């Protein structure tokens, strides 16, 4: 019930944000070739229901300035993706605010884009190109909402212990050297969708030695499907 209420509140908030921006005219389309300015129109399509396509979405890059940073963020041009585009700009605005550094650059890479899900790596880099902070952002393209690790599993599933066990086994199998205990599998734990499962992601120095860099540990769908939300995105991963 709590999860359903959370999603309902998210949809209502997105709708209010969209209505407010359209009424006040504060969301304007940027001219072609412009390198700055406000974000382009976030909701050019409003038809319902959202299309439930499992094909890759068409993702373009838009540029704006926010919190003293140059922010490159994704924009989905497929019809009917208004809520998804609102969720994307919200995620990037939050990430930019968390960087707490002026003159940084915010960018991203698309890590997975099919089967009705979208996974991104987000980067905050300094002027000389050093990565200062990174995170992930994942989206259910059937609902347009951002999804966090708990959203993948049934309400009362003990997914934390299962994931911790599987990640520990993966660390041992790859012969990685750890420098700390395994961080908790809470809502903020970065992850990415992939074919047949998810990657649990650990930032540089968070879990392993420097030479390992950013660590992505595969957890196969077959090992967690009994805990998954039957209506959630894990069921689509093949």
pLDDT for 102: 77
Q: What percentage of residues in the chain have a pLDDT greater than 70? A: 79
Number of domains present in the structure of the chain: 2
Does 51 share its domain with 77? yes
Coil, strand or helix at 227: helix
Query: Which of residues 93, 112, 147 is at a domain's end?
Result: 147
Poorest-pLDDT segment among 10-19, 24-33, 94-103 = 24-33
| Residue 101 near residue 69, CB atoms below 8 Å | yes
For the cut 80, the answer to whether the pLDDT of residue 32 exceeds it is no
| Residue 115 near residue 236, CB atoms below 8 Å | yes
Alpha-carbon span 175 to 187, nearest angstrom: 27
For the cut 80, the answer to whether the pLDDT of residue 120 exceeds it is yes
| Residue 117 near residue 234, CB atoms below 8 Å | no
- Signed CA dihedral, 36, 103, 147, 191: sign only: positive
pTM of the model: 0.80
Give the CATH number, domain containing residue 215.
3.90.640.20
Does 156 share its domain with 206? yes
The string of pLDDT tens digits covering residues 58-112 is 999 999 998 788 999 999 999 999 999 999 999 999 999 888 777 899 999 999 9
Does 64 share its domain with 181? no
Give the CATH number, domain containing residue 24.
3.30.565
Does 10 share its domain with 85? yes
Does 57 share its domain with 154? no
Question: What residues contact residue 91 under an 8 Å CB cut-off, 6+ apart?
Answer: 122, 137, 146
Q: Which domain holds residue 129?
A: 2-147
Does 115 share its domain with 11? yes
Question: What residues contact residue 146 under an 8 Å CB cut-off, 6+ apart?
Answer: 87, 90, 91, 137, 138, 139
For the cut 70, the answer to whether the pLDDT of residue 45 exceeds it is no
| Residue 99 near residue 132, CB atoms below 8 Å | yes
Query: Which of residues 125, 147, 169 is at a domain's end?
Result: 147
Does 143 share its domain with 154? no
In the 3-class helix/strand/coil scheme, how is 137-152 assigned residue by residue? EEEECCCCEEECHHHH
Does 30 share its domain with 96? yes
12: confidence class by pLDDT, cuts 50, 70, 90: low
pLDDT for 48: 56
Q: What is the mean pLDDT of residues 27-53?
A: 45
């Amino acid at each position: 019930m709590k999860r359903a209420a959370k999603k309902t509140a998210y949809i209502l908030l997105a709708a209010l944000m969209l209505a407010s921006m359209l009424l006040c005219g504060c969301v304007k389309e940027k001219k072609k070739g412009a390198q700055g300015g406000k974000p382009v129109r976030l909701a050019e399509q409003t038809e319902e229901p959202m299309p439930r396509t499992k094909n890759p979405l068409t993702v373009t890059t838009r540029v704006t300035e926010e919190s003293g940073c140059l922010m490159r963020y994704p924009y989905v041009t497929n019809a009917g993706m208004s809520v998804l585009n609102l969720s994307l700009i919200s995620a990037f605005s939050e990430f930019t605010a968390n960087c707490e550094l002026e003159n940084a650059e915010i960018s991203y890479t698309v890590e997975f884009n099919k089967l009705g899900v979208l996974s991104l790596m987000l980067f905050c880099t300094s002027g000389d190109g050093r990565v200062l902070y990174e995170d992930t952002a994942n989206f259910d393209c059937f609902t347009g909402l951002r999804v966090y690790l708990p959203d993948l599993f049934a309400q009362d599933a003990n997914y934390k212990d299962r994931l911790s066990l599987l990640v520990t086994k993966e660390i041992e199998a790859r012969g990685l050297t750890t420098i700390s205990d395994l961080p908790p599998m809470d809502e903020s734990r970065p992850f990415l969708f992939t074919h047949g499962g998810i990657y649990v992601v650990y930032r540089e120095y968070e879990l392993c030695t420097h030479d390992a860099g950013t660590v992505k540990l595969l957890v196969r769908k077959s090992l967690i499907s009994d805990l998954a939300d039957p209506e959630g995105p894990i069921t689509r991963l093949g």
